[in-house]
Homo-oligomer: A and B are copies of this chain.
């Protein structure tokens, strides 16, 4: 069947629930939380049964959802930043004085794939300051360094190889990987942040970022932060078919018929569906992600001091 991948555990869970008609899935625990108009869902994959069901590795997947992420209201941006900071703080555990490597994945020249590199350029990077700055200055700061390794098609090197090479030299305690995600539903595009403690899985995101980035391959915990920025054009065709079939009770469409229909409509698989103002959305979301990380890692810095650092 024409199968569209989602990087969001919460979507994978919902799709499984719908197709299996199950109310609860063995191996999957969920909890929901609200902070104003921001809803937080924590999906925990507790065992291999859960992994098989929704196709996500055991671990925790936190989804922060709000249409305000797409907007440009600075008040709302501050609220989302704070939620992100709090969730990150919990998932990072005691990060005081930790060495953190942030990797901004994706292609800086393809707008919807650029939030990783853009986030990195808004970080307060401090690792190089510790040897030269006075001791007091560094109170409340983590050792943060950051790279934007580029994508395979541009560098000729798997992203994972670059990160592993750098990590072997600088020995971080934890890696935070920021990336654009693929989602299944248009309404989640640029409205959802997912934080996972399971790293990045093969084939994630808009492009081709093969080879897992996780504790197994990198030797340290890998926290993944991502935002869906596009959906595949085929999702619209699939959703239309499903909606149409739902509307015509006694009709059925076979799966292979469905696939050929979709192929006929969406001829070019290299298309994507994005919001029209994706350029400015990508800028704003990258700032929110960067500041969530900045606040979570540098508890000693005020919003103002972070502005001074990041210009």
List the interface of chain A (C-beta within 8 A of B): 72-75, 109-111, 121, 125-129, 143-150, 152-158, 161-162, 164-170, 186-187, 189, 206, 233, 236-237, 239-241, 243-244, 247-248, 251, 253, 257, 261-262, 264-268, 270-280, 283-284, 304, 307-308, 311
Contacts and interface: CB of A to CB of B under 8 A. Distances in A.
B187 A267 contact: yes
Contacts of A261: 240, 243-244, 247
A166 B168 contact: no
Nearest to A67: B268
A73 B309 CA distance: 9
B186 A162 contact: no
B125 A155 contact: yes
Contact of A145 (B156, B187, B239): B156
Contacts of A244: 240-241, 244, 253, 261
B166 A170 contact: no
Given A156-B128, A243-B265, A275 B279 contact: no
Secondary structure at the A interface, as helix, strand, loop or mixed, is helix
B265 A270 contact: no
21 contacts: A72-B311, A73-B307, A121-B154, A127-B156, A128-B152, A129-B156, A147-B157, A161-B169, A164-B169, A186-B233, A206-B276, A236-B236, A240-B262, A244-B244, A247-B257, A248-B251, A270-B275, A271-B275, A272-B276, A280-B311, A283-B311
Nearest to A149: B147
B251 A239 contact: no
Nearest to A281: B311
B74 A186 contact: no
A270 B276 contact: yes
A34 to B, nearest CB: 22
B157 A128 contact: yes
